[in-house]
Amino acid sequence: MRLLKEVFGTSSKAWIYCANKDLQRQFLLQAESEGFDTSLQKTALSHIYGIGTDGHVGCLSPFLWSLSFGCELDFPRIDYQAFIEGKEDYECKEPHMRRIG
């Protein structure tokens, strides 16, 4: 299994997108097993997380996530499912959010 520290590259943080609750749980378990502090995220209703090389994990709002695709960032946005499936290109190119209605 790939390690989360692989997603950072030269950055000190990365944003992780989990498409469903199963991936969310799997991400949190993996992060905790790798020494990240997930204590505040156990009851979070987010499917988007920020992680840092300092070991912290935090929730991100879907609004902030979606807005980030309109600007240049100096850190990666990761599709967790593609990452754990071993795909070579696991960086998100679009926000994956769909308009309701």
CA-based nearest residue to 42, from 28, 30, 53: 28
pTM of the model: 0.89
Task: Measure the CA–CA gap between 9 and 84, rounded to whole angstroms.
Answer: 16
- Arithmetic mean of pLDDT, 61-87: 91
Q: Residue 57: inside a domain, yes or no?
A: yes
* 32-65 tens-digit pLDDT: 999 999 887 666 667 899 999 999 999 998 888 8
Q: Residue 14: inside a domain, yes or no?
A: yes
Residue % of the chain over a pLDDT of 70? 90
The two tokens of residue 33 are 């097993």
Whole domain around residue 19: which residue ranges?
A: 10-84
Q: Residue 16: inside a domain, yes or no?
A: yes
Q: Residue 96: inside a domain, yes or no?
A: no
Q: Residue 43: its pLDDT value, please? A: 64
The number of folded domains in the chain is: 1
